Structures are given as structure tokens and as C-alpha cells.
Amino acid sequence: MRKRTGFAASALLVAVLILFSGFATVNAAQAQDETPVVCDSTLALLLFIAEHDYDYLSAQIDSEAGLPNVDFGQYDLIINDTMAMMMEMMEGMTEEQMAEHAAMEEMVAPMMVMDVNGILAAYAEMMMMEGSSSTVLQPGVVAGEPEFCTALRADVERFLLAHLVAEAEMMMGDM
């Protein structure tokens, strides 16, 4: 059973265009080589979650960056099936879903130009918890992995975080 809100079902086109402005350079260089890039299983699973909940990969099909040539390994079937389902759902969006999508876009777009620390600082400010300190976790990086995978991991991390913070902000507004 899928836990999904109407706005999450839509393609996040504006955010994707902003999101992939930096990612497109890495993707364009990788696209010249038709050999699929093999990353790690954790990144493939993060990509699946980002696609399942926020249409991360299917929205790339219409972006300038295009769909990256990534070997999703054991997750290939489920990721590709989910992308096909998301593309089909985008075609049948209602007016209400489109309005919810637009509202989400307004909240996500400013965060997509921030780094992870900026997004977290914005969240702390929203929750009135500025100045609190915590352990700083290092981003996951696989030794010797292709540069493309490192850039993709950072991009999907920021993408997911921005959407989760936007959802929290929307929930706070509903209270």
C-alpha cells in the first residue's frame, strides 16, 4: 500500500529543473559514454525511494539532463516499473493535484538552490530551534566510486531533504 499525498504524485518539474542545473554537467559527460554507471545498492535504493515518493527519476526524462545511464542492479525492475507508473499517473492529474503540486513547488524551489546545511538551518529556524548543536554526519561516499555516483548521491540527498522539510512546513501550516 502506498502512502502518498496528491502533490507527491505529481512530477516536480520546476524543482527538477533547478535540481539538475548542477547535476546536468556530470550527467552530460557521463551520457557520452553509453556504458551504464554502476553505483552502490544503497544509492540505488535511495533513488527508488526518491522516485517512489517524489518522481525524482521519471521527471528527468523531460529535463535537459535526461535520464542518467545508471545500472540499478537488483533494483532495476522495481525502479523501472515505478517510473512507468509515475509517468502514467502524471498524465491523469486532476486540477486539485496540479494545485497541490504548485504549492509544493513554491516551497521546494528555494531549498533546491541550498546545500544540505542550508536546508537544515532553514528547518531549525522554522521550528524555532536555531542555535541547537548536533553531531555533523559525513556524507556517504564509496571509495573509488565514479564521480557521477558521488554527485548523484549528494543530489538525491538534497532532493529528499528539501521535500521532507517542505512537507513538514506544509503540515505546520495546516495546524
Tell me the pLDDT tens digit for each residue of 133-143. Answer: 788 888 888 89
Could you tell me if 34 and 139 are in contact, meaning their C-beta atoms sit under 8 angstroms apart? no
Using the predicted structure, report yes or no on whether residue 70 has a pLDDT greater than 80. Answer: yes
| Contacts of 30 by beta carbon, 8 Å cutoff, 6+ apart | 37, 68, 69, 146, 148
Q: Quote the CA–CA distance of 152 and 148 in Å, as a whole number.
A: 6
Q: What is the pTM of this model?
A: 0.74
What tens digit of pLDDT does each residue of 76-108 get? 999 989 988 888 887 888 989 888 878 888 888
Q: Quote the CA–CA distance of 145 and 45 in Å, as a whole number.
A: 16
Can you give the C-alpha Rg of the chain in angstroms? 16
Chain-centroid distance, C-alpha 127: 23
